[in-house]
Structure 1
Amino acid sequence: MEVYLKYFLIGLAIAMPVGAITVEMTKQGLKNGFIHGWAVGLGGMTIDVTLILAMYFGFASVLALPYVQIPLWLVGAGFLAYLGYDSIKNADKDITPADEKTQKSFFSTYRNGLLVAVSPGNLIFWVSVFGAVLSDSYSSSHSGSFAIAACGVMSGILIHDLGLLSVVSVTRRVMSRSMIRWVSVIAGILLFGFSLYFLYEFIMGIVGYV
């Protein structure tokens, strides 16, 4: 229980800072409601679970290789730039009033969550945090400690996402179409900012590797 609680708090803490996933979740939640904001979160958590499984089966060393990580910064920058552009271009589209049913595809917002979560920052987090847990679990009498820690972190992320989207759902009811449009534009600008940061890390990675 102590291991679970510890990693639950870690999961909650890492989910709280505003990142690309949070920005995309908030935007989709405001434009299309709780379910679509949640779809973005599910997309992100799908990548997280995939990384946890990769770590468990011994791929941590592969993910830590510079020539694996460096190209991913560029890929991540491309994904985020695309989402930022789409967010600004379609700021006034796909806005569903709170009392109407959205026509937007659940899969399309889930896909956005997948794209945002494919980032080296995410990979580095899982490798650094769970690398230590995995090595501990092999030397510990508690063979399930890795699984407990993974469940703890994912539970923390889940609670954060549900809490955030609950607030967004309430806020959405009192926001005008114009306000939601501007939120979408601001979200696009933030996503572009994250994209530029990823591009910077890609360049620094190339310079450092050469």
Structure 2
Amino acid sequence: MNLFLTYVVLGLSIALPVGTVTIEMTKQGLKNGFLYGWVVGLGGMTIDLLLILSLYLGLASVLSLPIVQVAMWLLGALFLFYVGYDSIKHADHDITLTGEKKKSLISSYKNGLLVAVSPSNLVFWISVFGTVLSSSFDRSNPYAFVIIGLGILSGILIHDLGLMTIVATTRKVMNRTAIKWVSIGAGVTLIGFGIHFLYRFLLSLQEHFL
């Protein structure tokens, strides 16, 4: 139990810094409500789970290859440009207030997947979780991986539920115009992340291939 709780705290620590998934969750939560923002978080957690399983199956060495990392920086930038542009373009669309028909949850989940596929996320799982897995194998505990993985994902889930509770409460006192400008701000921020990823792509390209 102590091992599980330790990694619940680690999961919370991972999720607390404001990142691309948090921004997209907040935007969707304000525009459409608690469930839609939380589904974005579930999309992000899907990527986290797949990365954990990939590391467990020994794919960390593949993800750490220079050509793979360079490609992921570029893909991450393109995904963020797309989501950021879409956020700005449709800032005044799909804003639903109480009792109004909402859009599909699938769209929110897809956005969560897109913004979670980022090099920074991959680097974290390779460096931090890869080390954790190695230490658990050293202890020859076959259940350590499951406990650690569930602990981290539980911590992220707790963060997401807490954040969406705050956002849903805030949403009740905001009008359409305020929500629109929050969406625009979120889009600009995501594009800013995309520019940073593009910069890192160019640096990695120069470092490894030029």
TM-score by length of 1: 0.97
Match of 1:18 in 2: 18
1:124 deviation in Å? Answer: 0.8
Do 1:133 and 1:145's aligned partners in 2 also have CA atoms closer than 8 Å? no
Any runs of at least 4 consecutive aligned residues in structure 1 with deviations exceeding 6 A, and if so which?
none
Contact kept? 1:32, 1:102, Cα under 8 Å: no
Q: Which residue of 2 aligns with 1:179?
A: 178
Secondary structure at the aligned position of 1:135 is classed as: helix
Aligned to 2:194: 195
Unaligned runs of 5+ in 1: none
Please give the secondary structure, in 2, of the residue aligned with 1:163: helix
Paired position in structure 2 for 1:127: 126
Percent of counterpart pairs with the same letter?
58
Q: Contact conserved, 1:32 with 1:94, CA < 8 A, in 2?
A: yes
Corresponding position of 1:32: 32
What's the CA shift for 1:146? 1.6
Tell which deviates more after alignment, 146-155 or 104-113: 146-155
The Cα of 1:144 is off from its aligned counterpart by 1.2
Q: Please report how far the alpha carbon of residue 117 of structure 1 lies from its aligned counterpart in structure 2 after TM superposition.
A: 0.5
Q: Distance in 1 between matches of 2:60 and 2:127?
A: 9
Per-residue Cα deviation, 1:55-94 (whole angstroms, up to 9, x for no partner): 1111111111111111111111001001111111111110
For 1:76, the equivalent position in structure 2 comes to 76
Equivalent in the alignment of 1:64: 64
Correspondence list, 1:137-176, <5 A: 137-176=136-175
Question: What CA RMSD, in Å, does the superposition of the two structures yield over aligned residues?
Answer: 1.0
Structure 2 gap ranges (5+): none
Letter in 1 for 2:151: G
Displacement of 1:142 in angstroms is 2.2
Q: Distance in 2 between matches of 1:102 and 1:34?
A: 15
Contact 1:84 1:187 in 2 (8 A): yes
- Measure, in 1, the Cα distance between the counterparts of 2:78 and 2:167: 27
Q: Note closer, same or farther for the CA distance 1:102–1:38 as it changes in structure 2 (3 Å cut).
A: farther
Could you tell which deviates more after superposition, 45-54 or 5-14?
5-14
How much does 1:201 deviate?
Answer: 0.7
Q: Give the Cα–Cα distance (whole angstroms) in 2 for the partners of residues 67 and 201 of structure 1.
A: 13
